Amino acid sequence: MNSFLYKLYFIIKDNFVNILRSFISSFGILFLILFFVIYLAIKDSVISYMGGALLDNLASDEIVILPKNAKTVEYVKRPGVPSIPSYTVKQVSGMSDFVEVNPVSRTGFNIRIKGELLGKSKTIFIPVCGVDRKFLKGRVPGWKSFYNRHPVPIIVPKFTIDIMNNYLSMDGFPALTEKDLIGFPVEMKFVTGKKNTPQYYKEYFYEGQVHSFTDLMSFTGLILPTDFLIFSAEQYRKDTGRTVGMEYVVIYAKVKDSDNLPSVVNKLKKMGLRVESQKDIVEKTRKTMNLVNGVFFAIMSVFFIVSVISIFNSYLTIVYIRSQKFSLKRVLGFSKLQILLSFIVEAAFIGAVYGVVGYFGGNWILGYAGDILAKWIPVFGSIKLQSSGADVFIMCVGISSSVCMVSALFPALFASNINLFNAVRK
């Protein structure tokens, strides 16, 4: 009995030391799996976000009409920034191909918003765009009340709630909900002209009120009623005899028949406009994701190469250290295949363990990183980093085991072909 226990103790001790040595040599594979889990989660989350933020707001029969040379929608009026002329907007609105045309306007005023919360006031410059309330029908609650009235209704991007709550949490105040902020009063200051020309420099003050929150448009400013922006521009024209420069930056339109979409697009292009449909956005998303995939693939390739080289070199060292043990096994009748398989199985087991640890470690990092990003960069609060599922778990274990097995293959071949007499002579 004592002899059996002694042998068992010796086997466990010997294999424990060897396996521990193998674990240390294969530690680099953990970073590869961690990065793989994080990459898949970010990729899926970004695709899901882009699909929700872009495609959910744009049906197959809807198009986005932009100025010809515009690469993106510019909501702030600056020299050289393209826009859609008013007469072109009227032409598009009069086309029989559309059942709905919703232009988005911008103003030449510089606009500052002043708000007060819990005894603290803050004034900030902010971009503004204007839309008609019919554009909000079915998309924003209470859309019928979104028109030029007192106080002026203001639609705010949803991510601003996170920004406000971040400031409040720093002072120990509880978080506010969307419902709490509806009706929040602000003061708007519209400024245009130069101070050295007092006859044209004007400041107008308007009372505003938060109407609702939305993520309808990818816009980091405020949405005001178009008829209010027209009213403020008309007020400036009456006071100075000059125009303030009301312009249109984008048109959202819905075609009557989606089968006629190609011909409608051709008509709009002949009018000097650029058109994007759901198909175009999908294509742009695909190209963006291809770029992201390429970058992640390059980084993962570096991790893979470094891991393989590290494991390969470490296993060569292990083979040298355990050469006497392998030679004794050969003397005792073990075949080359048995030694090779024992080495490969050991490497596969270690890889599987690191695959499991990497999978759960990656998901933990995702959960922690998601909270941190949402706290410090509120815009990322809209991108939900989802934990990986069972399919990714299987992939992690499989990839980790495979990498370890491939890395250990050549050292294992070397171990199974060790010269018995030279090894024993050592």
Q: What is the pLDDT of residue 5?
A: 60
Residues 246 and 300 both lie in one domain: no
The 10 Å Cβ neighbour count of residue 144 is 10
Query: Where is pLDDT greater, at 12 or 247?
Result: 247
- The type of residue at 261 is L
Calculate what percentage of the chain has a pLDDT beyond 90.
15
The whole-number average pLDDT for the span 99-106 is 90
Task: Work out how many domains the chain is built from and give that number.
Answer: 2
Please check whether residues 158 and 209 belong to one and the same domain: yes
Residue 32 burial (CB count, 10 A)? 23
In the block, tokens 């309330």 appear at 133
Q: Give yes or no for residue 83 having a pLDDT over 60.
A: yes
SS3 73: coil
d(CA 147, CA 224): 8
Q: How far is CA 376 from CA 50, 167, 227, in A?
A: 21, 10, 36
40 with 135, same domain? no
Q: Would you call 88 helix, strand, or coil by DSSP?
A: helix
Residue 346's Cα: distance from chain center in Å?
Answer: 39
One domain, residues 72 and 21? no
User: How many angstroms separate the CA atoms of 65 and 84, rounded?
Assistant: 9
Residue 347: inside a domain, yes or no? yes
Helix axes 278-321, 390-416, angle to 10 degrees: 30
Predicted local confidence at residue 121, as pLDDT: 79
**Residue 299 belongs to a domain:** yes
Q: How confident is the model at residue 423 (pLDDT cuts 50, 70, 90)?
A: very low
Query: Among 402, 395, 401, 424, which residue's Cα sits nearest to residue 39?
Result: 395
Element of type H or E holding 355:
helix 336-376
- Rounded Cα–Cα distance for residues 397 and 231 (Å): 64
Q: Tell me, yes or no, whether 119 and 229 share the same domain.
A: yes
The region of weakest confidence among 265-279, 305-319, 369-383 is: 369-383
Q: Looking at the domain assignment, is residue 269 inside a domain?
A: no
The residue among 284 and 67 whose pLDDT is bigger is 67
For residue 267, tell me if it sits in a domain: no
Domain end, chosen from 256, 277, 305, is at: 256
Are 70 and 213 in a shared domain? yes
User: What tokens were used for 412?
Assistant: 């294992």
Q: Do 29 and 404 touch, CB atoms closer than 8 A?
A: yes
State the chain's mean pLDDT as an integer. 78
**Burial letters 366-400, b for 16+ CB under 10 A, else e:** beeebeeebeeebebbebebeebeeebbebbbebb
Is the model's pLDDT at 406 over the cut of 50? yes
Tokens, residue 122: 């803050």
Residue 302 lies in a domain: yes
CA-only gyration radius of the chain, Å: 33
Q: Compute the distance between CA of residue 130 and CA of residue 104 in angstroms, rounded to an integer.
A: 6
Q: Given a cut of 80, is residue 165 above it in pLDDT?
A: no
Q: Distance between CA atoms of 84 and 73, rounded to whole angstroms?
A: 11
Arithmetic mean of pLDDT, 206-211: 94
- pLDDT reading at 160 higher than 80: no
Kindly give, in sequence order, each residue whose CB lies less than 8 Å from that of residue 411, ignoring residues fewer than 6 positions away.
312, 315, 316, 318, 319, 343
Summarize pLDDT for 361-372 with one digit per residue, the tens: 888 887 776 666
Give the percent of the chain with pLDDT over 70.
75
Which residue shows structure tokens 């042998």? 7
Question: What pLDDT score was predicted for residue 411?
Answer: 75
Tell me what pLDDT residue 254 has.
86
Site of tokens 């097995």: 405
pLDDT tens-place string over residues 330-369: 666 667 777 777 778 888 888 888 888 888 888 888 777 6
Could you report the per-residue pLDDT of 408-421, keeping only the tens digit for each? 777 777 766 665 54
Its domain, for residue 349, covers 2-53+285-425
Q: Is the pLDDT of residue 381 over 60?
A: no
Domain shared by 36 and 159, yes or no:
no
pLDDT at site 80: 76
Instruction: Please report the pLDDT score of residue 185 as a whole number.
Output: 92
Domain boundary residue among 256, 275, 305?
Answer: 256
Task: Please say which residue of 209, 239, 256 terminates a domain.
Answer: 256
340 with 229, same domain: the answer is no
pLDDT of residue 307: 75
CB 193 within 8 A of CB 168: no
pLDDT at position 231: 93
Burial (CB count <10 Å: 0-12, 13-18, 19+), residue 342: middle
Answer whether residue 4 shows pLDDT above 80.
no
Residues in the chain, total: 426
The C-alpha angle with vertex 256 and arms to 255 and 261, in degrees rounded to 5, equals: 50
Q: In whole angstroms, what is the distance from residue 313 CA to residue 138 CA? A: 64
79 in any annotated domain? yes
Q: What is the pLDDT of residues 168-188, one digit of tens each?
A: 666 677 777 888 889 999 999
Residue 228's pLDDT band, with cuts at 50, 70 and 90, is very high
Residue 107: phi and psi, rounded to 5, are -120, 155
Tell me, yes or no, whether 264 lies in a domain: no
Regarding whether 420 and 370 lie in a shared domain, the answer is: yes
Same domain, 138 and 45: no
Residue at token pair 């002694």: 6
Residue 93 sits in the same domain as residue 220: yes
215 and 353, same domain (yes or no):
no
Structure tokens at 138: 């079915």
| ∠ CA 27-30-33, rounded to 5° | 155
Task: Report residue 298: phi and psi, to 5°.
Answer: -65, -45
pLDDT higher than threshold 60 for residue 51: no
- Res 326 pLDDT > 70: no
CA–CA separation, 156 vs 161, rounded Å?
9
Report if residue 309 sits inside a domain. yes
